[in-house]
Structure 1
């Protein structure tokens, strides 16, 4: 069984029947600490750094490619069934892609010199997972004080942001799923096609998240 399928299986077991804002905080904790086939974000990122012979940017590129592949694999694995499996596969799919994207962004943050135990950095990781357009929108309407980089380097941690960012990310994750629902439902009439659509979408979104995180989280050691 491939790592993508293992992640899908673990995610399915972890997905709660009713997902609340605390879901993404728990996913982030698991991504940073490691769970099932996923090593800790720092350990995984360090391995890519070694393979890249100390080249941080190369390590980030390979780390992103790896997670894009894993996201596609878990999206495919959790959406292989037909329409009758929708109630089970959607929560597992959301849990799986959230875990992988958190693991990717945390790995990028580690490679760029951020302390993953810092609550400011953890909020920045979740904010980066929202994507550039969503962050810009939230900052514009003052629901978010600043983009991820500024959150990670703020003078102090603002605890009230913990729930705000997690709630926004939870809503965004479900909005992305609903956005592809019509296409996926049509594809689910042919079971394998449903997996292809979901896997491709998860891979694309994970690439976008990784690219935004790499753009936003500047190297703190420079």
Structure 2
């Protein structure tokens, strides 16, 4: 993998992963299929989203469950398995929550907000930097009328944020140099961040 994971490469990877998450790949449900499996159980949308988040936290903590799959697919850029698998879990989780909330996963604005949720607690700051004022929580109303140009700007800032985040945690170098140790060390961190991201996605896409 290149030493320099740029925002452009990150966006290529996010778009590739998003496509796999919403359209599905062999052996794994698509985001909407995953969402429907929780919706079929009944209950409130909030309960459905919370159940999904709890299950996905477990998946992120053992992210190797899709690492082999990603190794078999041709990705646009080379990303360590411990990063690529966790990001797949997180993107599919957020998209599933958006589906539970009744949002169109083919809508570019919904896609952008899903990417913003990946930034965790930094999501609101990213929108503020673009000039979008949000309240105490991120909601779909915040980007309801944004332009294509603004969508691109948000995506770029999310890409930069994710590159920075992985650099700070040493995840890229660790995963590249010692994949097994990287997976063990990253497991608890992955579960914690996935839970945070899941909660933000729930508050964003499901009417509370």
Over 3 Å counting, the alpha-carbon distance change for 1:128 and 1:172 in structure 2 is same
Alignment check: 8 A CA contact 1:105 1:210 kept: yes
The match for 1:93 is: 82
- Report deviation, 1:171: 2.4
- Report deviation, 1:46: 0.9
Q: Equivalent of 1:33, from 6, 23, 45?
A: 23
- Report deviation, 1:153: 5.7
Structure 1 CA distance for aligned equivalents of residues 149 and 17 of structure 2 = 19
Secondary structure of the structure 2 residue equivalent to 1:54? coil
Structure 1 CA distance for aligned equivalents of residues 154 and 181 of structure 2 = 34
Q: Give the length in aligned residue pairs.
A: 186
CA RMSD of aligned residues (A): 3.0
Structure 2 CA distance for aligned equivalents of residues 55 and 211 of structure 1 = 16
- Report deviation, 1:73: 0.9
Aligned structure 1 segments of 4 or more residues deviating by more than 6 angstroms: none
- Report deviation, 1:75: 5.7
> Structure 1 length as normaliser, TM-score?
0.70
The match for 1:42 is: 32
- Report deviation, 1:146: 4.6
Alignment check: 8 A CA contact 2:66 2:85 kept: no
Alignment check: 8 A CA contact 1:25 1:166 kept: no
Q: Which moved more, 1:207-216 or 1:68-77?
A: 68-77
The match for 2:53 is: 64
Structure 2 CA distance for aligned equivalents of residues 32 and 144 of structure 1 = 29
Structure 2 CA distance for aligned equivalents of residues 39 and 77 of structure 1 = 12
Over 3 Å counting, the alpha-carbon distance change for 1:101 and 1:61 in structure 2 is same
Structure 2 CA distance for aligned equivalents of residues 24 and 151 of structure 1 = 23
Structure 2 CA distance for aligned equivalents of residues 61 and 143 of structure 1 = 30
> Structure 2 length as normaliser, TM-score?
0.75
Structure 1 CA distance for aligned equivalents of residues 131 and 14 of structure 2 = 17
Q: Equivalent of 1:19, from 9, 15, 39?
A: 9
Alignment check: 8 A CA contact 1:149 1:217 kept: yes
Q: Equivalent of 2:125, from 121, 133, 137?
A: 137
1:197 aligns with 2:185: yes
Q: Which moved more, 1:108-117 or 1:162-171?
A: 162-171
The match for 2:157 is: 168
